[in-house]
Amino acid sequence: MKRAIVLAALTLICCKKQETIAIPDVQKEITTGISKSECYLGVLKNDTIRMQITIKDSVVEGKLSYRFFEKDKNDGTLSGRMEGDTLFAAYTFQSEGSESIREVAFLKKGNTFTEGYSDVEEKDNTVVFKDKSRLDFNSKTILTETDCK
């Protein structure tokens, strides 16, 4: 009888211990999230746009580079969020020897991002969209997913 009670107690302890081990693993998976890096390229005649982003949950960080033919290049960083299928980000870049910040928007469709345009204004040294609901994503500035190099 004592032996049965001891075995039952050991079984409960073992089972309970296994449950507490599994729970932290699930919690870690939930809070860590999944991040993935993606690269995109757009070529319009002699102009090239490259974007490399990492998305974790809905937070986006990365690099964006505009190389316009016979103009100064713009290299910078992106910091923003995915809101549904649209990326809204602050683009901090160097051009003509000075640092600038402007808001950018890209609509994600399949393996492409299309840049959106709208009227802008300057607020606190940052160029922002006057009205995000009026963004036009019918531009020819389409970036297609490519291998990251």
- DSSP state letters, 11-23: HHHHHHHHHHHHH
Amino acid 17: pLDDT? 43
Amino acid 31: pLDDT? 43
Amino acid 33: pLDDT? 61
Percent of the chain clearing pLDDT 70 (strictly above): 77
Confidence grade of residue 70 (pLDDT, cut at 50, 70, 90) = confident
Amino acid 126: pLDDT? 92
Residue spans per domain, the chain: 1-32, 35-146
pLDDT over 80 at 10, yes or no = no
pTM: 0.74
User: 101-134, pLDDT tens digit by residue?
Assistant: 999 999 999 999 999 999 999 998 899 999 999 9
Choice among 51-55, 82-86, 137-141 with the minimum mean pLDDT:
137-141
d(CA 86, CA 80): 10
pLDDT over 50 at 140, yes or no = yes
**For the chain, what is the mean pLDDT?**
80
**CA distances to 53, 56, 63, 70 from 148, in Å:** 10, 17, 12, 26
Amino acid 14: pLDDT? 46
Confidence grade of residue 72 (pLDDT, cut at 50, 70, 90) = confident
